[in-house]
Amino acid sequence: MNEIIKKMKKAGLKGRSGGGFPTALKWEIFKKQRARKKYIICNAAEGEPGVIKDGYILEKFPQVVVEGIKIALRTFKNSNAFIYLKEDYYQRFKENLQKIILGLPISLFCKKGGYLAGEESVILNVIEGKDPEPRIKPPFPLQVGLWGCPTLINNVETFYYIAKINRGEYNFCRFYSISGEAKNKGVFELPENYSIEQILKETGNFPGFDFFVQAGGGAVGEILLPHELNQPVRGSGAIIIYNKKKTDPFDLLKKWASFFMQENCDRCLPCREGIFRIWEMIENKKLDKENLDNLFFVLENTSFCGLGRSASIPFKSLIQKLNLLENNEKKKN
């Protein structure tokens, strides 16, 4: 086993794009693929609302990120790399990154499309010049990726920590994006085992008003109440704070539904029609439990890609935590 893979396994590093797949295992699988050509992609697509950590890392530590990509290039022979950047990141960081990667087999690529264009199989299609739609899996990119070749995709933060692990500087931390009704909005590097409550207090962001948070992501993150914050942040590491008295829950539900309707690829019926039906109920402020449960079940179990399969998370948690079904029934009676 390659030395860096051993180090990652010992560190227990997991991917920081939201899926949390063990990075060492991913590299092991990729290394075993037999091919004349392999590709490596650093994913800086970051298109979910409230998630800004990768942009922060590219601004503050671009050399460290590229160092992580170089480690991958050395580990996997006959490989080339792409840094896949969403459009505003491409404009902001292109010049500096070009200086850092000069002479290396690393190319910059500007993302085409919205949030879904950051999904790993969609990235492959975009780089190949195809429509930004997800691919059927399996096969997975590690097996059949760019132009039919094995392709390793890790995000910016993962490559940053790969470099840190290689240097012997890994401190078991991760980056958190904090936004919403926060006093000190921004990105913070803190221990990965910190609870949400610890993170908010450490950063001076624990509210003095009645609140709830969305944790894990800005679209697919789960809604948590103050007594539920003794747990780590999962997913992409985002925390959004909401003032309970100032937040109209139906406006928030409608915002999510509009986001998912705009960002889905319209390719699969469960996602396209399911989210629209949820939007209709929210628009009319008539949340029927049986219909919602059926829609959530179909989305989670039959959607073509991760967008549809995870779309139910914020809706289910907000409706449950704020008792919107109960309140709605009272209004009707």
Q: 146 vs 35, 196, 215, CA distance in Å?
A: 12, 38, 33
Return the CATH superfamily for domain 3-167.
NADH-ubiquinone oxidoreductase 51kDa subunit (3.40.50.11540)
- pLDDT tens for each residue of 63-79: 999 999 999 999 999 99
pLDDT band of residue 327 (cuts 50, 70, 90) is very low
* 239 token code pair: 């925390």
Looking at CATH, the fold of the domain delimited by 173-243 is given as Ubiquitin-like (UB roll) (3.10.20)
Percent of the chain with pLDDT over 90: 78
pLDDT at 268 > cutoff 90: no
Q: What pLDDT is recorded for position 56?
A: 97
Considering only CA atoms, which of 50, 14, 13 is closest in space to residue 238? 50
pLDDT at 333 > cutoff 60: no
Architecture of domain 249-332: Up-down Bundle (1.20)
Q: What pLDDT is recorded for position 292?
A: 93
- Domain residue spans of the chain: 3-167, 173-243, 249-332
Alpha helix segments (H runs only) across the chain: 3-11, 23-32, 53-60, 62-75, 87-100, 120-127, 156-167, 196-202, 249-263, 269-284, 289-302, 306-310, 312-321, 324-332
- pLDDT tens for each residue of 290-326: 999 999 999 999 988 888 889 999 999 999 988 887 4
